[in-house]
Structure 1
Protein backbone atom coordinates (compact mmCIF):
# COMPACT_ATOMS: atom_id res chain seq x y z
CA UNK A 1 0.00 0.00 0.00
CA UNK A 2 1.44 3.32 -1.07
CA UNK A 3 2.01 5.94 1.58
CA UNK A 4 0.88 9.47 0.87
CA UNK A 5 1.96 12.68 2.50
CA UNK A 6 -0.27 15.71 2.86
CA UNK A 7 0.62 19.39 2.66
CA UNK A 8 0.04 19.60 6.39
CA UNK A 9 2.66 16.90 7.02
CA UNK A 10 5.10 18.66 4.71
CA UNK A 11 4.56 21.89 6.60
CA UNK A 12 5.04 20.11 9.91
CA UNK A 13 8.36 18.61 8.75
CA UNK A 14 9.62 21.99 7.56
CA UNK A 15 8.44 23.62 10.79
CA UNK A 16 10.12 20.94 12.87
CA UNK A 17 13.48 21.31 11.04
CA UNK A 18 13.14 25.05 10.39
CA UNK A 19 16.36 26.09 12.10
CA UNK A 20 18.29 23.33 10.35
CA UNK A 21 17.12 24.68 6.98
CA UNK A 22 17.95 28.25 8.01
CA UNK A 23 21.42 27.13 9.11
CA UNK A 24 22.10 25.57 5.71
CA UNK A 25 20.89 28.69 3.90
CA UNK A 26 23.01 31.06 6.01
CA UNK A 27 26.02 28.75 5.83
CA UNK A 28 25.83 28.46 2.05
CA UNK A 29 25.43 32.23 1.66
CA UNK A 30 28.40 32.88 3.95
CA UNK A 31 30.62 30.42 2.08
CA UNK A 32 29.64 31.93 -1.28
CA UNK A 33 30.39 35.43 -0.02
CA UNK A 34 33.80 34.46 1.35
CA UNK A 35 34.76 32.60 -1.83
CA UNK A 36 33.50 35.41 -4.10
CA UNK A 37 35.19 38.26 -2.25
CA UNK A 38 38.37 36.67 -0.88
CA UNK A 39 39.19 33.49 -2.83
CA UNK A 40 38.27 33.93 -6.49
CA UNK A 41 40.48 36.20 -8.58
CA UNK A 42 38.58 38.99 -10.37
CA UNK A 43 38.82 38.88 -14.15
CA UNK A 44 38.37 41.71 -16.63
CA UNK A 45 37.35 41.85 -20.28
CA UNK A 46 38.00 44.24 -23.11
CA UNK A 47 37.19 44.05 -26.80
CA UNK A 48 38.59 45.24 -30.11
CA UNK A 49 36.76 45.08 -33.43
CA UNK A 50 37.86 44.80 -37.04
CA UNK A 51 35.96 45.02 -40.31
CA UNK A 52 36.31 42.52 -43.14
CA UNK A 53 35.88 44.21 -46.53
CA UNK A 54 37.43 44.16 -49.97
CA UNK A 55 40.13 46.78 -50.46
CA UNK A 56 39.52 49.10 -53.38
CA UNK A 57 41.96 49.48 -56.22
CA UNK A 58 44.18 52.51 -56.52
CA UNK A 59 41.94 54.59 -58.80
CA UNK A 60 38.94 53.97 -56.55
CA UNK A 61 36.70 52.84 -59.40
CA UNK A 62 36.06 49.33 -58.06
CA UNK A 63 32.53 48.91 -56.70
CA UNK A 64 31.39 46.45 -54.07
CA UNK A 65 28.55 44.09 -54.85
CA UNK A 66 26.55 41.55 -52.86
CA UNK A 67 28.84 38.75 -54.01
CA UNK A 68 31.87 40.50 -52.51
CA UNK A 69 30.07 41.05 -49.22
CA UNK A 70 28.96 37.42 -49.11
CA UNK A 71 32.55 36.34 -49.74
CA UNK A 72 33.75 38.48 -46.85
CA UNK A 73 31.12 37.01 -44.53
CA UNK A 74 32.18 33.48 -45.46
CA UNK A 75 35.83 34.39 -44.87
CA UNK A 76 35.05 35.44 -41.30
CA UNK A 77 34.64 31.81 -40.23
CA UNK A 78 38.15 31.15 -41.50
CA UNK A 79 39.48 34.28 -39.84
CA UNK A 80 37.98 33.24 -36.51
CA UNK A 81 40.14 30.12 -36.62
CA UNK A 82 43.29 31.81 -37.89
CA UNK A 83 43.22 34.58 -35.28
CA UNK A 84 43.43 31.99 -32.46
CA UNK A 85 46.11 29.92 -34.16
CA UNK A 86 49.79 29.81 -33.09
CA UNK A 87 50.68 31.70 -36.29
CA UNK A 88 49.09 34.79 -34.74
CA UNK A 89 49.25 34.14 -31.02
CA UNK A 90 52.98 33.31 -30.95
CA UNK A 91 53.62 36.81 -32.29
CA UNK A 92 51.27 38.28 -29.67
CA UNK A 93 53.15 36.47 -26.91
CA UNK A 94 56.46 37.74 -28.22
CA UNK A 95 55.17 41.29 -28.64
CA UNK A 96 53.73 41.51 -25.10
CA UNK A 97 56.41 39.30 -23.52
CA UNK A 98 53.78 36.98 -22.05
CA UNK A 99 54.79 33.99 -19.98
CA UNK A 100 52.29 31.53 -21.45
CA UNK A 101 51.74 29.19 -24.37
CA UNK A 102 49.65 29.95 -27.43
CA UNK A 103 47.05 27.45 -26.16
CA UNK A 104 46.74 29.29 -22.84
CA UNK A 105 46.44 32.61 -24.66
CA UNK A 106 43.81 31.14 -26.96
CA UNK A 107 41.69 30.31 -23.91
CA UNK A 108 41.76 34.00 -22.96
CA UNK A 109 40.35 35.06 -26.34
CA UNK A 110 36.83 34.92 -27.70
CA UNK A 111 36.16 35.76 -31.35
CA UNK A 112 32.58 36.44 -32.41
CA UNK A 113 30.57 38.13 -35.13
CA UNK A 114 26.90 38.79 -35.62
CA UNK A 115 25.10 36.75 -38.24
CA UNK A 116 25.70 38.11 -41.75
CA UNK A 117 27.89 40.85 -40.30
CA UNK A 118 31.34 41.84 -41.54
CA UNK A 119 32.35 43.11 -38.08
CA UNK A 120 34.39 40.73 -35.92
CA UNK A 121 34.80 41.29 -32.17
CA UNK A 122 37.87 39.99 -30.37
CA UNK A 123 37.38 39.85 -26.59
CA UNK A 124 40.27 39.21 -24.20
CA UNK A 125 39.87 38.11 -20.57
CA UNK A 126 42.59 38.49 -17.95
CA UNK A 127 43.00 39.15 -14.21
CA UNK A 128 44.54 42.48 -15.21
CA UNK A 129 42.32 45.00 -16.96
CA UNK A 130 45.35 46.60 -18.62
CA UNK A 131 46.62 43.24 -19.85
CA UNK A 132 43.20 42.34 -21.27
CA UNK A 133 43.22 45.62 -23.21
CA UNK A 134 46.73 45.02 -24.56
CA UNK A 135 45.97 41.44 -25.59
CA UNK A 136 42.83 42.45 -27.51
CA UNK A 137 44.52 45.32 -29.36
CA UNK A 138 47.78 43.49 -30.09
CA UNK A 139 45.97 40.39 -31.37
CA UNK A 140 43.92 42.40 -33.86
CA UNK A 141 46.92 44.46 -34.99
CA UNK A 142 49.12 41.41 -35.60
CA UNK A 143 46.26 39.63 -37.35
CA UNK A 144 45.82 42.61 -39.67
CA UNK A 145 49.54 42.60 -40.48
CA UNK A 146 49.87 38.83 -40.96
CA UNK A 147 46.69 37.96 -42.86
CA UNK A 148 47.96 39.30 -46.24
CA UNK A 149 50.88 36.85 -46.10
CA UNK A 150 48.77 33.94 -44.79
CA UNK A 151 45.87 34.19 -47.27
CA UNK A 152 47.11 36.72 -49.83
CA UNK A 153 44.23 39.07 -49.03
CA UNK A 154 44.10 42.61 -47.74
CA UNK A 155 40.58 43.11 -46.46
CA UNK A 156 40.95 43.65 -42.72
CA UNK A 157 40.47 47.12 -41.22
CA UNK A 158 40.59 47.89 -37.50
CA UNK A 159 37.23 49.38 -36.57
CA UNK A 160 37.58 50.11 -32.84
CA UNK A 161 40.42 49.56 -30.40
CA UNK A 162 40.00 48.41 -26.83
CA UNK A 163 40.29 51.27 -24.34
CA UNK A 164 41.14 51.03 -20.65
CA UNK A 165 38.58 52.86 -18.52
CA UNK A 166 39.50 54.75 -15.39
CA UNK A 167 37.69 52.35 -13.04
CA UNK A 168 37.27 49.01 -14.81
CA UNK A 169 34.71 46.60 -13.37
CA UNK A 170 35.45 42.86 -13.23
CA UNK A 171 33.17 40.57 -15.20
CA UNK A 172 33.72 37.73 -12.74
CA UNK A 173 33.07 36.70 -10.09
CA UNK A 174 29.57 38.07 -9.54
CA UNK A 175 29.14 37.99 -5.73
CA UNK A 176 25.42 38.81 -5.75
CA UNK A 177 24.64 36.07 -8.24
CA UNK A 178 26.86 33.57 -6.43
CA UNK A 179 25.20 34.31 -3.08
CA UNK A 180 21.72 34.04 -4.61
CA UNK A 181 22.56 30.66 -6.12
CA UNK A 182 24.07 29.52 -2.81
CA UNK A 183 20.90 30.52 -0.93
CA UNK A 184 18.74 28.48 -3.31
CA UNK A 185 21.05 25.47 -3.13
CA UNK A 186 21.36 25.76 0.65
CA UNK A 187 17.58 25.82 0.99
CA UNK A 188 17.20 22.79 -1.27
CA UNK A 189 19.83 20.82 0.65
CA UNK A 190 18.33 21.86 3.99
CA UNK A 191 14.80 20.84 3.01
CA UNK A 192 16.06 17.59 1.52
CA UNK A 193 18.01 16.76 4.68
CA UNK A 194 14.99 17.62 6.83
CA UNK A 195 12.81 15.11 4.97
CA UNK A 196 15.61 12.52 5.02
CA UNK A 197 15.95 12.81 8.79
CA UNK A 198 12.18 12.58 9.15
CA UNK A 199 12.13 9.47 6.96
CA UNK A 200 14.91 7.81 8.96
CA UNK A 201 13.27 8.66 12.29
CA UNK A 202 11.34 5.47 13.19
CA UNK A 203 10.65 6.29 16.83
CA UNK A 204 7.07 6.07 18.14
CA UNK A 205 5.80 9.48 19.21
CA UNK A 206 2.00 9.17 19.36
CA UNK A 207 -0.84 6.69 19.47
CA UNK A 208 -1.29 7.18 15.74
CA UNK A 209 2.23 5.81 15.17
CA UNK A 210 1.30 2.67 17.13
CA UNK A 211 -1.80 2.03 15.06
CA UNK A 212 0.08 2.83 11.85
CA UNK A 213 3.19 0.70 12.39
CA UNK A 214 1.97 -2.10 14.71
CA UNK A 215 -1.56 -2.42 13.31
CA UNK A 216 -3.05 -2.78 16.81
CA UNK A 217 -5.65 -0.64 18.57
CA UNK A 218 -4.67 1.69 21.41
CA UNK A 219 -6.37 0.69 24.68
CA UNK A 220 -5.08 3.48 26.88
CA UNK A 221 -2.56 6.27 27.24
CA UNK A 222 -0.30 7.01 30.21
CA UNK A 223 0.19 10.74 30.30
CA UNK A 224 3.56 12.21 31.15
CA UNK A 225 3.53 14.55 34.15
CA UNK A 226 6.38 16.98 34.76
CA UNK A 227 7.52 18.18 38.15
CA UNK A 228 6.12 21.61 37.35
CA UNK A 229 2.71 20.07 36.70
CA UNK A 230 2.82 18.31 40.09
CA UNK A 231 3.77 21.57 41.80
CA UNK A 232 0.90 23.42 40.13
CA UNK A 233 -1.58 20.73 41.15
CA UNK A 234 -0.34 20.89 44.75
CA UNK A 235 -0.84 24.65 44.81
CA UNK A 236 -4.35 24.26 43.45
CA UNK A 237 -5.14 21.64 46.10
CA UNK A 238 -3.77 23.84 48.88
CA UNK A 239 -5.80 26.81 47.68
CA UNK A 240 -8.90 24.64 47.47
CA UNK A 241 -8.40 23.31 51.02
CA UNK A 242 -7.85 26.84 52.31
CA UNK A 243 -11.07 28.05 50.74
CA UNK A 244 -12.91 24.93 51.96
CA UNK A 245 -11.68 25.41 55.52
CA UNK A 246 -12.76 29.04 55.51
CA UNK A 247 -16.15 28.11 54.19
CA UNK A 248 -16.69 25.42 56.91
CA UNK A 249 -15.64 27.80 59.68
CA UNK A 250 -18.09 30.44 58.61
CA UNK A 251 -20.88 27.89 58.62
CA UNK A 252 -20.08 26.82 62.21
CA UNK A 253 -20.13 30.39 63.46
CA UNK A 254 -23.51 31.02 61.92
CA UNK A 255 -24.92 27.95 63.68
Structure 2
Protein backbone atom coordinates (compact mmCIF):
# COMPACT_ATOMS: atom_id res chain seq x y z
CA UNK A 1 0.00 0.00 0.00
CA UNK A 2 1.25 3.46 -0.83
CA UNK A 3 2.23 5.23 2.42
CA UNK A 4 1.72 8.71 0.98
CA UNK A 5 -1.53 10.45 1.80
CA UNK A 6 -2.97 13.20 -0.34
CA UNK A 7 -5.86 15.58 0.28
CA UNK A 8 -8.46 16.72 -2.20
CA UNK A 9 -10.05 20.14 -1.93
CA UNK A 10 -13.12 18.58 -0.34
CA UNK A 11 -11.01 16.68 2.19
CA UNK A 12 -9.14 19.87 3.09
CA UNK A 13 -12.39 21.67 3.91
CA UNK A 14 -13.68 18.60 5.77
CA UNK A 15 -10.47 18.54 7.84
CA UNK A 16 -10.74 22.23 8.66
CA UNK A 17 -14.41 21.86 9.59
CA UNK A 18 -13.68 18.77 11.70
CA UNK A 19 -10.95 20.51 13.69
CA UNK A 20 -12.45 24.01 13.73
CA UNK A 21 -12.44 24.10 17.53
CA UNK A 22 -8.71 23.29 17.61
CA UNK A 23 -8.00 26.06 15.10
CA UNK A 24 -10.05 28.61 17.06
CA UNK A 25 -8.43 27.69 20.39
CA UNK A 26 -4.95 27.84 18.85
CA UNK A 27 -5.66 31.24 17.31
CA UNK A 28 -6.97 32.64 20.58
CA UNK A 29 -4.03 31.30 22.60
CA UNK A 30 -1.34 32.60 20.24
CA UNK A 31 -3.09 35.98 19.96
CA UNK A 32 -3.36 36.19 23.75
CA UNK A 33 0.34 35.36 24.14
CA UNK A 34 1.20 37.98 21.53
CA UNK A 35 -0.85 40.60 23.39
CA UNK A 36 0.68 39.70 26.76
CA UNK A 37 4.17 39.85 25.29
CA UNK A 38 3.43 43.21 23.64
CA UNK A 39 1.93 44.91 26.70
CA UNK A 40 3.86 43.35 29.57
CA UNK A 41 7.23 42.14 28.21
CA UNK A 42 8.31 44.48 25.43
CA UNK A 43 9.64 47.85 26.60
CA UNK A 44 8.24 50.85 24.71
CA UNK A 45 10.79 52.80 22.68
CA UNK A 46 10.62 56.42 21.57
CA UNK A 47 12.24 58.06 18.59
CA UNK A 48 13.35 61.61 17.78
CA UNK A 49 14.90 63.00 14.62
CA UNK A 50 17.10 65.97 13.75
CA UNK A 51 17.97 67.14 10.24
CA UNK A 52 21.37 68.38 9.06
CA UNK A 53 22.41 70.23 5.92
CA UNK A 54 26.04 70.12 4.79
CA UNK A 55 26.76 72.69 2.09
CA UNK A 56 30.38 73.36 1.30
CA UNK A 57 31.01 76.96 0.19
CA UNK A 58 32.92 77.59 -2.99
CA UNK A 59 35.26 80.51 -3.72
CA UNK A 60 33.81 83.29 -5.87
CA UNK A 61 35.82 82.23 -8.92
CA UNK A 62 34.27 78.73 -8.74
CA UNK A 63 30.60 79.72 -8.49
CA UNK A 64 30.01 78.36 -11.99
CA UNK A 65 30.64 74.88 -10.67
CA UNK A 66 27.91 75.20 -8.05
CA UNK A 67 25.72 72.46 -9.59
CA UNK A 68 28.59 69.99 -9.63
CA UNK A 69 29.34 70.93 -6.04
CA UNK A 70 25.75 70.18 -4.97
CA UNK A 71 25.92 66.76 -6.61
CA UNK A 72 29.21 66.11 -4.86
CA UNK A 73 27.67 67.09 -1.50
CA UNK A 74 24.81 64.66 -2.08
CA UNK A 75 27.26 61.85 -2.79
CA UNK A 76 29.26 62.79 0.29
CA UNK A 77 26.31 62.00 2.60
CA UNK A 78 27.36 58.33 2.71
CA UNK A 79 30.74 59.47 4.00
CA UNK A 80 29.08 61.68 6.62
CA UNK A 81 27.05 58.66 7.78
CA UNK A 82 30.23 56.66 8.32
CA UNK A 83 31.81 59.53 10.25
CA UNK A 84 28.78 59.89 12.52
CA UNK A 85 28.89 56.17 13.32
CA UNK A 86 32.62 56.26 14.01
CA UNK A 87 34.19 56.56 17.48
CA UNK A 88 35.29 60.10 16.55
CA UNK A 89 31.68 61.23 17.07
CA UNK A 90 30.01 58.52 19.16
CA UNK A 91 32.69 58.63 21.87
CA UNK A 92 31.82 62.23 22.73
CA UNK A 93 28.08 61.57 22.44
CA UNK A 94 28.44 58.58 24.77
CA UNK A 95 30.13 60.72 27.42
CA UNK A 96 27.31 63.29 27.28
CA UNK A 97 24.28 60.96 27.50
CA UNK A 98 25.82 58.24 29.66
CA UNK A 99 24.04 59.31 32.85
CA UNK A 100 20.60 59.84 31.33
CA UNK A 101 17.62 57.46 31.76
CA UNK A 102 17.15 55.10 28.85
CA UNK A 103 20.87 55.19 28.01
CA UNK A 104 21.61 52.33 25.54
CA UNK A 105 24.29 50.94 27.84
CA UNK A 106 27.48 51.30 25.81
CA UNK A 107 29.00 52.92 22.76
CA UNK A 108 27.95 49.89 20.70
CA UNK A 109 24.43 50.17 22.07
CA UNK A 110 24.45 53.84 21.17
CA UNK A 111 25.50 52.93 17.63
CA UNK A 112 22.54 50.57 17.38
CA UNK A 113 20.17 53.23 18.70
CA UNK A 114 21.14 55.77 16.02
CA UNK A 115 20.01 55.56 12.40
CA UNK A 116 20.75 57.91 9.52
CA UNK A 117 18.61 58.41 6.42
CA UNK A 118 18.46 60.74 3.46
CA UNK A 119 16.26 61.47 0.47
CA UNK A 120 17.51 60.99 -3.05
CA UNK A 121 19.21 64.07 -4.53
CA UNK A 122 18.89 65.97 -1.25
CA UNK A 123 21.70 67.58 0.71
CA UNK A 124 19.69 67.19 3.92
CA UNK A 125 20.01 63.99 5.94
CA UNK A 126 18.32 62.91 9.16
CA UNK A 127 19.74 61.55 12.39
CA UNK A 128 17.21 59.49 14.37
CA UNK A 129 17.74 58.09 17.84
CA UNK A 130 15.70 55.56 19.82
CA UNK A 131 15.51 55.15 23.57
CA UNK A 132 13.18 53.87 26.26
CA UNK A 133 12.97 57.48 27.48
CA UNK A 134 11.56 60.09 25.04
CA UNK A 135 13.73 62.94 26.36
CA UNK A 136 16.87 60.84 26.09
CA UNK A 137 16.02 59.95 22.50
CA UNK A 138 15.79 63.63 21.60
CA UNK A 139 18.97 64.43 23.50
CA UNK A 140 20.93 61.66 21.74
CA UNK A 141 19.85 62.92 18.31
CA UNK A 142 20.66 66.56 19.10
CA UNK A 143 23.97 65.74 20.77
CA UNK A 144 25.02 63.60 17.82
CA UNK A 145 24.28 66.45 15.40
CA UNK A 146 26.16 68.91 17.62
CA UNK A 147 29.27 66.72 17.95
CA UNK A 148 29.26 66.01 14.21
CA UNK A 149 29.06 69.73 13.44
CA UNK A 150 31.97 70.43 15.79
CA UNK A 151 34.25 67.64 14.54
CA UNK A 152 33.58 67.45 10.81
CA UNK A 153 35.77 70.48 10.09
CA UNK A 154 38.74 68.74 11.72
CA UNK A 155 38.20 65.56 9.73
CA UNK A 156 37.28 67.04 6.32
CA UNK A 157 37.44 70.43 4.66
CA UNK A 158 33.80 71.18 5.43
CA UNK A 159 32.96 74.62 6.77
CA UNK A 160 29.18 74.94 6.46
CA UNK A 161 27.11 72.50 8.53
CA UNK A 162 23.63 73.63 9.54
CA UNK A 163 21.07 71.98 11.81
CA UNK A 164 17.87 72.38 9.81
CA UNK A 165 15.59 71.19 12.64
CA UNK A 166 16.37 70.02 16.15
CA UNK A 167 14.95 66.83 17.56
CA UNK A 168 11.91 67.35 19.79
CA UNK A 169 10.55 65.06 22.50
CA UNK A 170 8.04 62.63 21.06
CA UNK A 171 5.83 61.01 23.72
CA UNK A 172 4.31 58.52 21.28
CA UNK A 173 6.27 55.23 21.26
CA UNK A 174 7.40 53.84 17.92
CA UNK A 175 7.59 50.29 19.28
CA UNK A 176 6.11 47.89 20.04
CA UNK A 177 3.54 48.20 17.27
CA UNK A 178 0.45 46.88 19.00
CA UNK A 179 -1.79 46.42 15.96
CA UNK A 180 0.89 44.71 13.90
CA UNK A 181 1.78 42.37 16.78
CA UNK A 182 -1.87 41.43 17.37
CA UNK A 183 -2.48 40.79 13.66
CA UNK A 184 0.72 38.74 13.51
CA UNK A 185 -0.52 36.73 16.50
CA UNK A 186 -3.85 36.03 14.78
CA UNK A 187 -2.18 34.93 11.54
CA UNK A 188 0.40 32.81 13.36
CA UNK A 189 -2.32 31.23 15.51
CA UNK A 190 -4.34 30.33 12.41
CA UNK A 191 -1.34 28.68 10.76
CA UNK A 192 -0.46 26.79 13.94
CA UNK A 193 -4.04 25.58 14.36
CA UNK A 194 -4.34 24.50 10.72
CA UNK A 195 -0.97 22.75 10.97
CA UNK A 196 -2.05 20.81 14.05
CA UNK A 197 -5.35 19.95 12.37
CA UNK A 198 -3.63 18.34 9.39
CA UNK A 199 -1.09 16.61 11.64
CA UNK A 200 -3.91 15.05 13.63
CA UNK A 201 -5.67 14.06 10.45
CA UNK A 202 -2.51 12.46 9.03
CA UNK A 203 -1.92 10.60 12.28
CA UNK A 204 -5.50 9.32 12.48
CA UNK A 205 -5.52 5.67 11.31
CA UNK A 206 -9.20 5.11 12.06
CA UNK A 207 -11.16 3.49 9.19
CA UNK A 208 -14.02 5.82 8.42
CA UNK A 209 -15.51 4.32 5.24
CA UNK A 210 -16.25 0.95 3.69
CA UNK A 211 -14.79 2.22 0.43
CA UNK A 212 -11.30 2.36 1.99
CA UNK A 213 -11.50 -1.33 2.95
CA UNK A 214 -12.82 -2.59 -0.38
CA UNK A 215 -11.01 -0.36 -2.87
CA UNK A 216 -7.77 0.65 -1.13
CA UNK A 217 -7.09 -2.51 0.86
CA UNK A 218 -8.85 -4.95 -1.48
CA UNK A 219 -10.81 -6.64 1.32
CA UNK A 220 -14.27 -8.18 1.04
CA UNK A 221 -17.05 -6.49 2.96
CA UNK A 222 -19.05 -8.97 5.05
CA UNK A 223 -21.41 -6.41 6.48
CA UNK A 224 -21.62 -3.23 8.46
CA UNK A 225 -22.28 -2.58 12.10
CA UNK A 226 -24.13 0.65 12.67
CA UNK A 227 -23.15 2.81 15.58
CA UNK A 228 -25.92 3.37 18.10
CA UNK A 229 -25.97 6.39 20.30
CA UNK A 230 -25.30 5.53 23.94
CA UNK A 231 -28.29 7.59 25.07
CA UNK A 232 -30.61 5.67 22.74
CA UNK A 233 -29.31 2.36 24.09
CA UNK A 234 -29.96 3.41 27.69
CA UNK A 235 -33.40 4.67 26.73
CA UNK A 236 -34.26 1.35 25.06
CA UNK A 237 -33.08 -0.54 28.14
CA UNK A 238 -35.26 1.60 30.41
CA UNK A 239 -38.24 1.17 28.12
CA UNK A 240 -37.65 -2.59 28.03
CA UNK A 241 -37.48 -2.80 31.83
CA UNK A 242 -40.60 -0.68 32.15
CA UNK A 243 -42.41 -2.95 29.67
CA UNK A 244 -41.39 -6.08 31.56
CA UNK A 245 -42.57 -4.60 34.84
CA UNK A 246 -45.90 -3.63 33.26
CA UNK A 247 -46.31 -7.11 31.81
CA UNK A 248 -45.51 -8.77 35.17
CA UNK A 249 -47.98 -6.45 36.93
CA UNK A 250 -50.75 -7.33 34.47
CA UNK A 251 -50.14 -11.05 34.87
CA UNK A 252 -50.19 -10.71 38.66
CA UNK A 253 -53.52 -8.84 38.56
CA UNK A 254 -55.01 -11.52 36.30
CA UNK A 255 -53.95 -14.28 38.71
CA UNK A 256 -55.55 -12.47 41.63
CA UNK A 257 -58.83 -12.15 39.75
CA UNK A 258 -58.86 -15.88 39.04
Query: Partner residue of 1:244?
Result: none
Q: Does 1:136 pair with 2:137?
A: no
- Across the aligned residues of Structure 1 and Structure 2, the Cα RMSD in angstroms comes to 2.7
Q: CA deviation at 1:198?
A: 0.7
Corresponding residue SS for 1:65:
helix
Larger CA deviation: 94-103 vs 212-221: 94-103
Q: 1:204 aligns with which of 200, 204, 207?
A: 207
Q: Does 1:116 pair with 2:117?
A: no
Query: Partner residue of 1:87?
Result: 88
Q: 2:162 aligns with which of 148, 157, 161?
A: 157
Query: Partner residue of 1:145?
Result: 150
Contact map agreement 1:44 1:132 (CA 8 A) in 2 = yes
2: CA distance, partners of 1:79 / 1:184: 41
Relative to structure 1, the CA distance from residue 226 to residue 110 in structure 2 (aligned partners, 3 Å threshold; closer, same or farther) is closer
Relative to structure 1, the CA distance from residue 217 to residue 138 in structure 2 (aligned partners, 3 Å threshold; closer, same or farther) is same
Displaced runs of 4+ in structure 1, greater than 4 A? 1-4, 61-64, 232-236
Relative to structure 1, the CA distance from residue 160 to residue 218 in structure 2 (aligned partners, 3 Å threshold; closer, same or farther) is same
Contact map agreement 2:53 2:161 (CA 8 A) in 1 = yes
Structure 1, residues 127-155: CA drift from partner, whole Å, max 9, x if none? Answer: 11100000000100111011111113212
2: CA distance, partners of 1:234 / 1:97: 83
2: CA distance, partners of 1:212 / 1:26: 41
1: CA distance, partners of 2:55 / 2:225: 93
Q: Does 1:220 pair with 2:238?
A: no
Query: Partner residue of 1:251?
Result: none
Structure 1, residues 149-197: CA drift from partner, whole Å, max 9, x if none? Answer: 11132121110001114xx111110121111111111111111111111
Q: CA deviation at 1:212?
A: 4.5
Larger CA deviation: 35-44 vs 153-162: 153-162
Query: Partner residue of 1:21?
Result: 23
Query: Partner residue of 1:68?
Result: 69
Q: How many residues align?
A: 236
Q: CA deviation at 1:203?
A: 1.9
Q: CA deviation at 1:116?
A: 1.3
Relative to structure 1, the CA distance from residue 137 to residue 219 in structure 2 (aligned partners, 3 Å threshold; closer, same or farther) is same
1: CA distance, partners of 2:109 / 2:238: 83
Q: CA deviation at 1:95?
A: 2.1
Query: Partner residue of 2:173?
Result: 170
1: CA distance, partners of 2:58 / 2:163: 16
Query: Partner residue of 2:195?
Result: 192
Contact map agreement 1:40 1:173 (CA 8 A) in 2 = yes
2: CA distance, partners of 1:175 / 1:65: 48
Contact map agreement 1:49 1:122 (CA 8 A) in 2 = yes
Structure 2: runs of 5 or more not aligned:
244-258
